[in-house]
Structure 1
Amino acid sequence: MALSDREIREIITPLLLSGAKMLDKHCPKCGSPLFELNGRVFCPICEHRKKEESTELKSIEESLLEKLKVLANNLPDDIDELKKHLEVMKMIVELLEKYKKMEEIR
């Protein structure tokens, strides 16, 4: 998702005010100017996107965990319904494992 000029300014302005130095090099991934702060060179736009993606993943994980808790706390007595419940719970656990692996890759 492309950021607007305003969003980019909102990311970059605080960096400049905090003493970060805008370099004459650009990010090979997004083309944004690279910055240096405390000896660390980074792309503020890519870091912002990474934080947003991480937040989205955590939100999804929290929703899946909540659904898992609801299902676990409301197990039906009927064996056929219980099998359906357990199958859904298994799918949720598998999704959570995939999200965990995605976080580890980052």
Structure 2
Amino acid sequence: MTKGPTEEEIRKIIMPLMLSGAKMLDRHCPKCGSPLFEKDGKVFCPVCEHRKKQRQAELKGVEERLMEKLNELANSLPEDIEELEKHLRVMELIINLLERYKVLEGGE
């Protein structure tokens, strides 16, 4: 079970949601313990949704930095064969990491 909502999450997520007309239900999220809400016919956990969006943004930021590094490496290939091999190994590692991030993004 994930940790329940923090004070900041209550202040930034739950309170504005209540003010927006969403209905707080008398049921709680089995994952984090936050009250479930209903809005526009949809029942959801605002805390879990917020945390998921945060994780996706973090993954996107890492992915962007890895792509920048990969492009930097691709644009500066050394002439020396040993250095080139090291360079290509690092590029391969970055590509493997990017593939893992794609899997994580899709699996959320």
Query: What TM bracket, shorter-length normalisation?
Result: over 0.9
Number of aligned pairs? 106
Identity %: 63
Cα-Cα RMSD: 1.3
Q: Larger relative contact order (C-alpha < 8 A, sep ≥ 6)?
A: 2
Aligned partners of 1:32 and 1:59: how far apart in 2?
A: 27
TM-score scaled by length of structure 1: 0.94
Match status 1:14 vs 2:26: no
How far, CA to CA, are the matches of 1:78 and 1:6 in structure 2? 53
Paired residue for 1:75, among 66, 73, 77? 77
Aligned residue runs from structure 1 range 1-106, under 5 A: 3-106=5-108
- Paired letter, 1:7: E
1:16 deviates by: 1.1
1:38-95 per-position Cα deviation (integer Å, ceiling 9, x unaligned): 0000000101110110111001101100000000000001111000000100010010
Q: Which amino acid aligns with 1:39?
A: G
Gaps of 5+ in 1: none
Where does structure 1 differ by over 6 angstroms across 4 or more consecutive aligned residues? none
Please, what TM-score do these two structures have when normalized by structure 2?
A: 0.93
Deviation readout 1:19-40 (Å, 9 max, x if unpaired)? 1000000000010000000000
Q: CA deviation at 1:5?
A: 1.3
